[in-house]
Amino acid sequence: MNLSLLTVAAEAPAGTNFADFDVAAWQWGAFLAVVAALLLIDVLLVHRTAHAVTFKEAAVESAVWITIGLSFTLVILLWQGGQASGEYLAGYLIEKSLSVDNVFVWAVIFSYFRVPAEYQFRVLFWGIFGALVLRAIFIFAGVALIERFDFVLYVFGALLLYSAFKIARHQEAEVHPEKSVVLRAVRRIVPSTNEYDGQRIFTRVNGRRLATPLFAVLVLIESTDVVFAVDSIPAILAVSREPFIVFSSNAFAILGLRALYFLLSGMAGRFRYLNLGLGVILGFVGIKMLVAEVYHFPTWVSLLVITVVLTVAIAASVRADNREHAGKLGGG
């Protein structure tokens, strides 16, 4: 009896180890309505007027967004059980950690265009909105490819290992707006002005409708998010194949990125070992995907690896920064 069970388990496809459930159209609609409501509350109530976001304000908002994202784990747990909630939490942690590099890239883009601090939130609002749409397309396409073509697992796995190497060497977060093909195309195709007009992305000058510099900023933000999605979507597909779990974990991680940007944009140097940690995580999920047809790492193992690696990387970074700061004070 036990032998037959082991034989059946060995012959079962790797995908059966992941949570799999049907999501009705009204449930998708309810989730999207919640996401839309959160976005509207943020832009129409919390940030109704243009202003420079303070560190304290960003810290409070980041805490609120992280609490919302983590709390959704309980919703998944009560709705679909422990396996699904574990996959959601692993996906959320992966996306949240990989999104830190987005924050530092945004800082470079805003600095290049000299975007006033009080206008940055609004352009990030539209950037997040666009990112949600693009991620949804990538997620459903990725799941469909994996279900249809087994070899895609190996392509994604190899891509993650390559990305792990790049991230560990801190090569992926470099962005040079002045060399961007996308930016040159925007400036050539879209009639634009070099003057800002408040938070407006488009304005009128002498009767002509022109794009303000915020339009170019938005396009660059969206294009860089596509690059980051090439890493993050396969990484989350390594821990879950259920589209609702993958999209919801992505959505809640991305929703809090604006607050995280204002919290961390000036602190890039303080997380010197974070890229190494992210490289280890991507390397792990890449290997997980490559061996998925032979062995399935339990979800709790993924959670343990992600949590431990992030904790060690952040703690080591803070300790090294404190030691360096203390050395400068002592030397002074």
Q: Are 209 and 202 in contact (CB under 8 A)?
A: yes
Please check whether residue 313 is in contact with residue 277, taking contact to mean a CB–CB distance below 8 angstroms. yes
- Residue type (1 letter), 27: Q
- For residue 108, give the nearest of 236, 238, 261, 212 by alpha carbon: 261
Rounded to whole angstroms, how far apart are CA atoms 159 and 107?
A: 26
pLDDT of residue 175: 61
For residue 2, being part of any structural domain is answered with no
User: What are the angstrom distances between the C-alpha of 125 and each of 11, 42, 213, 221?
Assistant: 47, 9, 16, 11
Domain that holds residue 52: 23-324
Q: What is the pTM of this model?
A: 0.80
The amino acid sitting at 216 is A
The domain total for the chain is 1
In a domain, 266, yes or no: yes
- The answer to whether residue 16 sits within a structural domain is no
Is 7 domain-assigned?
A: no
For the chain, 332 residues long, the average pLDDT of each consecutive 10-residue run is 36 60 94 92 81 84 93 95 93 85 79 86 86 87 83 82 77 62 82 85 87 88 80 85 93 88 70 79 84 80 85 84 69 54
Taking the C-alpha atoms of residue 146 and residue 143, their distance in angstroms, rounded to an integer, is 5
State the Cα–Cα distance between residues 306 and 92, nearest whole angstrom: 11
pLDDT at 279: 83
In a domain, 1, yes or no: no
- Is residue 214 a contact partner of residue 196, using CB atoms and an 8 Å limit? yes
> Burial level of 192, CB count in 10 A (0-12/13-18/19+)?
middle
Residues forming a β-bridge with 210: 203
The answer to whether position 18 is within a domain reads no
Task: Find where tokens 């990387």 sit.
Answer: 313
pLDDT at residue 108, as a whole number: 79
Residue 172: predicted pLDDT: 53
The verdict on residue 17 lying in a domain is no
DSSP assigned state of 46: I
Amino acid at 194: N
Q: Is residue 130 part of a domain?
A: yes
